[in-house]
Amino acid sequence: FNAKSGSINSKSFDMDLIFEEKLKTFVPNLQMGYSNTTDLPTGMSVKNYTIKAPVKATGYYAQGSLLYDRYIFIGKPSIAIRYETDENTNNYQTKAKINRLSLFFIYYIDKESAKVSLGADFINPDANLIQDTKNGYTTLKDYWDYTLALQTMF
């Protein structure tokens, strides 16, 4: 990357709020976050095309999950849903936005510090972002992303 304008010292403000409380057999978890970053470099070039890098990026997310705090077989099940959005103003001053909706089922395995997750993400870029990436090399579009994750910690 070669930065043609902007600053190497971006400015950012981030805030997260989390609430979790055990209510008998369920443990709800609510999360929200906000991020605002300015003075990002613009006009970066990568090989054969120019990325219209944002000079300002603003985003937020809201997430909720619910853990069933009783054992089913060897662990405890949970479900989580998350919505997030990211809005960028690029070097042509058009706003581009990506929305993401996620739904995951998680199974926490007892005494193993492990979990199994199965979920889906729906990624939805708006028309401005799709137009900004039309260059013969890449074009964004709506898509689904599916995940099966096995995690353990030592």
What phi, psi does 60 have (nearest 5°)?
A: -150, 165
Chain segment 1-42, per-residue pLDDT in tens: 344 555 556 788 999 999 999 999 999 999 999 999 887 665
Given the structure tokens 């870029």, which residue do they identify? 125
Give strand pairing partners of 84. 61, 100
Q: How far is CA 47 from CA 66, 70, 142, in A?
A: 46, 54, 25
Provide the whole-model pTM: 0.78
